[in-house]
């Protein structure tokens, strides 16, 4: 399991790091798009249960702007229930091709119904039916139970557009902490942290 590969693809200096973490996030995401990093928008999302036990899963980043990072899911899922209880979340991207990791922490809030509707309306019909048919994170007796529900909703909406289920929509994560990690030779990696405080963002370098 030991991996002794060296990280040699880039560096991150104080000069390369703008005062706004959003600018750096945008630069890095655009860089990942340009370099065609496989699944660059897949991010690990961690939430907290009421028992204080963290849980993680991958979701897709669907939009990002000055205000935060947007993903879509089932509000009744495990993650949805955990966010309802405690909306502090953490996010992690790892892009092997660029030897980059981004860690983000912040607060998740539901996006407006209009934003969720617009996103839902643009999804393929199969995904729209799936959002009705899957009671995400609930136990299934069998695969055929799920497939039966898919047929049920296909019939129900056979002659109409599929409306967004009320339990399905987006969250926007408002970050208050970012860490940009660039792999370097000899494990002497660059780690630039942006921490939000009353005066704005404070930027510091962390030891690798």
Q: Which are the catalytic amino acids?
A: 187
Q: Phi and psi dihedrals of 26, rounded to 5?
A: -65, -45
Of 109 and 136, nearer to ligand FMN (C-beta) is 136
Q: Where do contacts with ligand FMN occur on this chain (CB under 6 A)?
A: 39, 42, 55, 57-60, 71-73, 77-79, 136-137
Burial of 95 (0-12, 13-18, 19+ CB in 10 A): buried
Q: How far is the CB of 72 from ligand FMN (least distance, A)?
A: 6
Q: How far is the CB of 120 from ligand FMN (least distance, A)?
A: 12
- What Cα–Cα distance (Å) separates residue 136 from each residue in 4, 64, 73, 79? 39, 24, 9, 10
Q: Is the dihedral of CA 37, 38, 40, 46 positive or negative?
A: negative
Of 33 and 55, nearer to ligand FMN (C-beta) is 55
3-state SS assignment for residue 3: coil
Of 50 and 55, nearer to ligand FMN (C-beta) is 55
Q: How far is the CB of 154 from ligand FMN (least distance, A)?
A: 21
């Amino acid at each position: 399991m030991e991996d002794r590969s060296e990280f040699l693809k880039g560096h991150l200096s104080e000069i390369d790091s703008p005062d706004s973490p959003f600018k750096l996030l945008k630069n890095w995401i655009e860089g990942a798009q340009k370099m065609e990093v496989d699944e660059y928008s897949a991010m690990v999302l961690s939430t907290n249960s009421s028992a204080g036990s963290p849980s993680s899963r991958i979701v897709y980043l669907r939009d990002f702007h000055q205000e935060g990072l947007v993903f879509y899911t089932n509000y009744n899922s495990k993650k949805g229930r955990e966010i309802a209880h405690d909306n502090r979340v953490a996010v992690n991207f790892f892009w092997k091709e660029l030897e980059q990791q981004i860690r983000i922490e912040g607060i998740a809030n539901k996006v407006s119904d209009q934003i969720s509707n617009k996103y839902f309306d643009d999804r393929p019909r199969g995904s729209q039916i799936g959002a009705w048919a899957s009671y995400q994170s609930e136990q299934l007796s069998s695969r055929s139970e799920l497939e039966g529900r898919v047929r049920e909703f296909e019939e129900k909406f056979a002659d109409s557009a599929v409306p967004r289920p009320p339990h399905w929509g987006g969250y926007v994560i408002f970050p208050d902490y970012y860490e940009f990690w660039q792999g370097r030779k000899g494990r002497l990696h660059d780690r630039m942290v942006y921490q939000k405080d009353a005066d704005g963002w404070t930027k510091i370098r962390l030891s690798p």
